[in-house]
Chains A and B, each alone.
Chain A
Amino acid sequence: MGSRVEILNDGGYRSDGRRQFELRDITINLAQQGQADGSAVITHGLTQVLVSVFGPREAKMRSQTIHDRANINVEVNVAAFSTGERRKRSRGDKRILEIGSTIKSTFEPVVQTTLYPRSQIDVYITVLQQDGGLLQACINGTTLALTNAGIPMADFVCAVTGGVHSTSALLDLTTLEENDVPHVTVAMMPKTGKVALVTMETRLHVERFEEIFRLAGEAGKVLHKEMKKAVMGRTSTLVNAMGSRGSGVDRDGDEQMNEL
């Protein structure tokens, strides 16, 4: 499929003015939304996703409980006005269910669910705007929201998309680029470098794959920096607010921890 816009021009610039390995602007908002236990709004360029986490809490349906750990439930809701062309997706849309179950299986080994038997953790994702990198934004947003909710995790999960245009590798693709170029989404855990998820739906030559895979992993570390900054910023603000009015005796007093 030809495109009227050049994906990568001779000067090394992409259609939105970025360089090959440049990531889009990121904004992270960790302020509380509604009644959620933890929430995050993350923007990668023009893709904007809101994630709300409830839990761990009593499961709504007893049939969904697991006796020795918590059940993670992910629901994705794509707003009809999120794309250039309005499209209403029903909740049972296969594509959306697939994204939801992909995210669930990405986080199941990362979240320490064994601490909460018979409980449920609900992750509600609302896609407000889409311009490529949807799964990436959802995963990053979920990581932030879970951290915000105080749910213990082994590490952050940072995701980014990577693609190849003829022989040049590209990172963090927009819709225009995703439609034109084979691409893969990689989610990695920065501390160990382990990969939590790799998914690809286009056809990519095996020789190109290795490079893209490696690059995306590195880019995840860059994302981790930003996410860490946001999380620490919020933690520090809240701790200062709490501390300013005399924490005093009680904080240390009740720290005779009962080991589980």
Chain B
Amino acid sequence: MSTTSLSKAEKSYIAAGLTQSTPHRADGRNLTDYRSVALEAGVAPLANGSVRLSIGRNINDNGGGTEVLAATKLEVESISIGESSEGREGGRFIVNVSCSPAAYPHLTQNALDDLQHDLTTILHTTLTHPSLHPQNLTILPHKKSWLLHLDLLILSDAGNTLDALFLAARAALWDTKVPRTRSVEYKAPRGSNKANAGANTTVEGGDIDVDSTAPSGFDTRTQISRATDFELPDYWDEGEALDGRDRWPVCVTLNLAPPVHFLDATPQEESAIPLRLLLIFSFTSTSKGEATLQAMRSLGAGELSLVQIKDLIQTGEKYAHSLYTALNAKLKDEDIRRTQKARERFIAARR
């Protein structure tokens, strides 16, 4: 995203190539072609979900390309009405982007911090919107919930970082498993000094034991869930998938060189064509064309008319849909591959 230094002649060469009758790009790609995208899930075993994604990486010697690592981590938080705790009913979600200085060797520390801040803001405000909030982040209602952290790290930048960040975010969230919890209530049995642990029905969304008498509205004691603590029934189980994995959005960056636009820009193209429109769409997997525009941002110097924006949003939705479908297919493949790998390892270990 930082501008590569380019001469005026180079910039006009790129711009002229795009605006001639048959548009032409520096490496011969079509306007809507992405470079090769590589994705691998489960790269950080200590995290609850992780993914490594690269766009345009050189297949042979691995150099170049935009490379992003994303990982999610779940922490337990206490909720209480007072100001001291930060936990909130239904769980919290925080997104953070950091840039490795190796990705931006020409930027100073301050510029790097600014860039990190910008990217974090874009990702955080879009992904933590209430419409996307996962429903299974509660452990014990009113008492304990999960704090979901999504950390993204840019290892190298060769253009189109925002698309890469959103793709990685979606993939990492898809890969995230929430540990199953079981709420536990401690009851002192009558006439005995020992405390017994009695398990309620397995709670995964905070169901309250409903076979007690209907609580009075004025008596707050009985409305508080009897569950006071929770345990992990199976330490080694990864857990269930994070809710709402279909809803996580994809981002399409449209680089605008009127009358055309193109996708997946290289750093040279980004420097020559500064005007960009970011469109972030969320789809529900069932319906084919039903998309929600989660966020939109225009970047760079230039003007856009309302009519242009409307058209671009329509076209952008189609691009985003192809991206979404392709990514889903890949994620499902990854799931299969990893289950298979785990199975093979298990069999090998048993021999």
Of B46, B67, B109, the contact of A82 (CB 8 Å cutoff) = B46
Q: Chain B residues near A149 (CB, 8 Å)?
A: none
By the criterion CB–CB under 8 Å, are A124 and B102 in contact?
A: yes
Bound form: Cα–Cα A52–B67 in Å: 14
Alpha-carbon separation in the docked complex, A82 to B71 (Å): 9
Does B241 sit at the interface, judged by CB under 8 A? Answer: no
Tell whether, in the assembled complex, residue A128 and residue B96 are in contact, meaning their CB atoms are under 8 Å apart.
no
Cross-interface CB contact of A60 among B64, B108, B155, cutoff 8 Å: B108
* A91, CB-defined interface residue at 8 Å: yes
Closest-CB distance, A220 to chain B (whole angstroms): 27
Smallest CB separation, A203 vs chain B (Å) = 29
**Interface hub of A39, A61, A83, A128 (most chain B Cβ within 10 A):** A128
User: What does the 1/0 interface line of A35-54 toward B look like (CB < 8 Å)?
Assistant: 11001000000100010101
Out of B63, B71, B157, name the residue touching A81 (CB < 8 Å).
B71
> Is the beta-carbon distance between B61 and A31 smaller than 8 angstroms?
yes
18 A-B pairs, CB-CB below 8 angstroms?
A33-B155, A34-B65, A34-B157, A35-B63, A35-B64, A35-B156, A39-B102, A46-B45, A52-B100, A54-B105, A75-B101, A79-B98, A79-B153, A86-B149, A88-B151, A126-B100, A126-B102, A128-B69
Q: Which residues of chain B are near A101, meaning CB under 8 Å?
A: none
User: Dominant SS at the A interface?
Assistant: loop
- Which residues of chain B have C-beta atoms less than 8 A from A129's C-beta? 44-46
Q: Does chain B have a CB within 8 A of A172?
A: no
Cβ distance A70 to chain B, nearest Cβ, rounded Å: 16
Asked if B50 is at the interface of the complex by the 8 Å CB criterion, the answer is yes
Pick from B45, B69, B71, B102: contact of A34, CB under 8 Å:
B102
Complex: chain B residue closest to A92, CB-CB: B109
- Pair B63/A80 contact, Cβ less than 8 Å: no
Chain A: minimal CB distance from B303 (Å): 34
The CA-CA distance from A79 to B62 in the complex, in Å, is 21
What chain B residues lie within 8 Å of A61 (beta carbons)?
A: 108
A32 to B59, CA, bound (A): 11
In the complex where A77-B101, A126-B155, A128-B44 touch, is A33 in contact with B69 (Cβ < 8 A)?
A: no
Q: A84 — which chain B residues lie within 8 A by C-beta?
A: 46
A50 contact set on B, CB distance < 8 A:
155
Q: Which of B24-64 contact A (CB under 8 A)?
A: 44-47, 50, 58, 61-64
| Bound complex: CA A61 to CA B149 (Å) | 35
Q: Give A86's nearest chain B residue, CB to CB.
A: B73
Q: Are B151 and A35 in contact (CB under 8 A)?
A: no
Q: How many A-B residue pairs have CB under 8 A?
A: 90
Is B117 close to A, CB under 8 A?
A: no
The answer for the CA separation of A86 and B98 in the assembled complex, in Å, is: 14
Contact B108 A81 (CB under 8 A): no
Asked if residues B101 and A79 are in contact (CB atoms below 8 Å), the reply is: no
* B interface residue count range (under 10 / 10 to 19 / 20 to 34 / 35 or more): 35 or more
A91 pairs with B109, CB closer than 8 A: yes
- A81 pairs with B73, CB closer than 8 A: yes
Is B64 a contact of A34 with CB atoms below 8 Å? yes
Q: Which B residues are CB-close (under 8 A) to A122?
A: 101, 105
Q: Which residues does chain A contribute within 8 Å of B47, judged by CB atoms?
A: 81, 86
CA distance A83 to B72 in the complex (A): 12
List of A residues within 8 angstroms of B157 by Cβ: 34
Closest to B154 in A: A34
Q: Contacts A31-B62, A33-B63; is A88 near B101 (CB within 8 Å)? A: no
B14 CB, min distance to chain A CBs, angstroms: 20
In the bound assembly, the distance between CA atoms of A126 and B153 in angstroms comes to 10
Least distance between A149 CB and chain B CB atoms (Å): 12
Rounded to whole angstroms, the CA-CA distance of A63 and B186 in the bound complex is 65
A128–B67 CA distance with the chains assembled, in angstroms: 14
0/1 interface trace, chain A 151-168, chain B, CB 8 Å (1 if under): 000000000000000000
Known: A34-B67, A124-B102. A83 touches B151 (CB 8 A): no
Residues on B with beta carbons closer than 8 Å to the beta carbon of A39: 102
The answer on a CB contact under 8 Å between A32 and B46 is no
Given contact pairs A34-B156, A60-B108, enumerate 9 new A-B contacts (beta carbons under 8 Å): A32-B58, A33-B156, A75-B101, A79-B151, A81-B50, A82-B44, A91-B113, A126-B155, A129-B44
Given A34-B67, A86-B151, A91-B109, also A80-B73 (CB < 8 A)? yes
**Nearest-CB distance from B171 to chain A (Å)?**
14
Does B162 sit at the interface, judged by CB under 8 A? no
A36 touching B61 by the CB < 8 A rule?
Answer: no
- CB pair A80–B67 under 8 Å, yes or no, is no
| Inter-subunit contact A33/B96 (CB<8 Å) | no
Min CB distance, B345 to chain A, in Å?
16
Give per-residue flags for B58-100: 1 if the beta carbon is below 8 A from chain A beta carbons, else 0: 1001111101010111010000000000000000000010101
Residues in B234-281 with C-beta less than 8 Å from chain A: none
B208 at the interface (CB under 8 A from A): no
Given A34-B63, A80-B149: A86 and B103 within 8 A (CB)?
A: no
Nearest Cβ on chain A to B150's Cβ, whole angstroms: 9
In the complex, residue of chain B having the shortest beta-carbon distance to the beta carbon of A84? B46
Question: What separation, in Å, do the CA atoms of A82 and B73 have in the docked complex?
Answer: 10
**Which residues of A sit under 8 angstroms from B96, Cβ to Cβ?**
80, 88
Q: How far, in angstroms, from A85 to B71 measured CA to CA in the complex?
A: 12
Query: A33 touching B62 by the CB < 8 A rule?
Result: yes
* B106 sits at the interface (CB 8 A): yes
CB under 8 Å from chain B, chain A span 52-93 = 52, 54, 60-61, 75, 77, 79-86, 88, 91
Contacts of B58 in A (CB 8 A): 32
